[in-house]
């Protein structure tokens, strides 16, 4: 597939006014996307678990307008008008206009809400951009009713990527690969695909408890962080390592080797943060409590032999991942020992999920 495949032929149907609502989940990367070029092309492959509970619900109302000169839309978060969200959406619309040529024909009202606290550091751009891409694709499907489900998912992921890279991994479940790499057949830089190989039952209903360590706005956005990988002294090695890690992960997922899984996942998380610390300008997104939690996880793991591991995204929060079979003991540990390190004692229990849903 190339970009050209996502440019539609002239539409046969016409579409008047209507509304559509989708809910789309966040995702947590096991092998991290960090570094991009051109229009949201990743420098290395990544793979993530789609989540179930952390999601964005977006209702899109579209009303045909007379002129087709400019984009016209309003955005609301939890019922409040959010003009500060508009530039990001405007950029998104500009990038995708050639693929969704009806964008200037309608006025859009975008009403959105998250099931997790705003600015909790949970990737709302992944769930937010994927939810919006899904709503737009639902409209495109009215223009072209012959569209297959496979193409719908591919193109939605392709569009979501142009809004936020990681958003392309939030359309389907449970494990999504984004970025062309030798070891994964049909993997693409343009959109995410479902992980195509065998996954052991150990990963069924895999748990993710997210400790909210710091809820403030990040000092450095992911977008800036990605840019700092240009000319980064370790970039070449890091990108090559991600390809190798993808290959290493395959037999781990197949055999259900949880110790090897944890080793790879934690190494990826710390490498991501090492890239931040070694870029110029350098920065640190972990907080003292992030490190406290990591050390306590390691100690508990050594003492109990349970399969508890962590990953981090671009922030201070800690995602604690573990198999469903060990849920009771690990949750007890989290509640007794780790909640004290969370801001206002807040954490979110989530698990691997099936992907986005249309609500109406």
Residues that bind ligand DP6 (CB under 6 A): 29, 32-34, 40, 46, 123, 125, 164-166, 222-223, 226, 272, 313-314
What three-state secondary structure class fits 355? strand
Residue 245 CB, nearest approach to ligand DP6 (Å): 12
Tell me how far apart the alpha carbons of residues 330 and 306 are, in angstroms, rounded to a whole number.
8
Give least dist CB 112 to ligand DP6, A. 16
In angstroms, what is the minimal distance from the CB of 197 to ligand DP6?
20
**Nearer to ligand DP6 by C-beta: 45 or 323?**
45
Give least dist CB 284 to ligand DP6, A.
14
What distance, in Å, lies between the first and last C-alpha atoms of the chain? 30
- Nearest Cα neighbor of 272 from 335, 315, 324 is 315
- Rounded distance, CA 62 to CA 65, Å? 9
Nearest alpha-carbon partner for 267 in 293, 283, 249: 249
Query: Which is closer to ligand DP6, CB of 46 or CB of 52?
Result: 46
Dihedral sign for Cα 108, 114, 120, 126, please: negative
Query: At 249, phi and psi to the nearest 5?
Result: -70, -30
Which is nearer to ligand DP6, 61 or 174 (by Cβ)? 174
318 - beta bridge partners? 211
Query: Nearest residue by C-beta to ligand DP6?
Result: 165
Q: CA 234 to CA 144: how far, in whole Å?
A: 46
Using DSSP's 3-state secondary structure scheme, residue 203 falls into: helix
Q: Of 214 and 330, which CB lies nearer to ligand DP6 in the complex structure? A: 214
Q: For ligand DP6, which is the closer residue by CB, 21 or 46? A: 46
Cα-Cα-Cα-Cα torsion 59, 64, 67, 70, nearest 10 degrees, comes to 10
CB of 147 to ligand DP6, least distance (A): 26
Alpha carbon 253 to chain centroid distance?
20
Least distance from C-beta 223 to ligand DP6, angstroms?
A: 4
Residue 56 Cβ vs ligand DP6, minimum distance, rounded to whole Å: 14
User: ∠281-218-115 over CA atoms, to 5°?
Assistant: 150
Nearer to ligand DP6, 20 or 320 (CB): 320
Please say which residue, 164 or 209, places its beta carbon nearer to ligand DP6. Answer: 164
């Amino acid at each position: 597939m190339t970009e050209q495949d996502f440019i539609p032929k002239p539409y046969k149907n016409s579409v008047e006014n209507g509304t559509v609502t989708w809910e789309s989940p966040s995702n947590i990367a096991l092998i991290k996307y960090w570094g991009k070029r051109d229009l949201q092309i990743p420098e290395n492959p990544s793979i993530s678990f789609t989540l179930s509970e952390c999601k964005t619900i977006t209702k899109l109302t579209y009303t045909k307008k007379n002129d087709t000169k400019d984009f016209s839309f309003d955005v609301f978060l939890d019922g409040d008008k959010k003009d500060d969200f508009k530039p990001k959406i405007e950029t998104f619309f500009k990038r995708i206009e050639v693929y969704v040529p009806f964008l200037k024909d309608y006025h859009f009202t975008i009403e959105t809400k998250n099931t997790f606290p705003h600015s909790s550091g949970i990737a709302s751009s992944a769930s937010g951009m994927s939810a919006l891409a899904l709503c737009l694709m639902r409209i495109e499907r009215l223009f072209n009713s012959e569209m297959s489900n496979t193409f719908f998912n591919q193109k939605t992921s392709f569009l979501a990527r142009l809004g936020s890279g990681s958003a392309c991994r939030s359309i389907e479940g449970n494990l999504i690969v984004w970025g062309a790499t030798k070891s994964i057949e049909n993997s693409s830089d343009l959109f995410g695909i479902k992980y195509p190989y065998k996954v052991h039952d150990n990963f069924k209903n895999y748990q993710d408890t997210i400790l909210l360590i710091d809820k403030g706005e990040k000092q450095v956005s992911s977008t800036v962080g990605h840019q700092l990988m240009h000319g980064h002294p370790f970039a070449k090695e890091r990108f090559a390592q991600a390809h190798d890690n993808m290959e290493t992960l395959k037999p781990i997922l197949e055999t259900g080797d949880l110790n090897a899984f944890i080793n790879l996942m934690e190494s990826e998380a710390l490498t991501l943060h090492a890239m931040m610390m070694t870029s110029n300008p350098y920065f640190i997104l972990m907080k003292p409590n992030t490190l406290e939690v990591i050390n306590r996880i390691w100690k508990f793991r050594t003492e109990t032999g349970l399969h508890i591991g962590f990953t981090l995204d671009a922030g201070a929060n800690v995602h604690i991942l573990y198999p469903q079979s060990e849920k009771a003991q690990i949750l007890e540990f989290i509640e007794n020992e780790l909640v004290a390190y969370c801001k206002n004692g807040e954490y979110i229990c989530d698990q691997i999920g099936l992907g986005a849903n249309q609500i109406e």
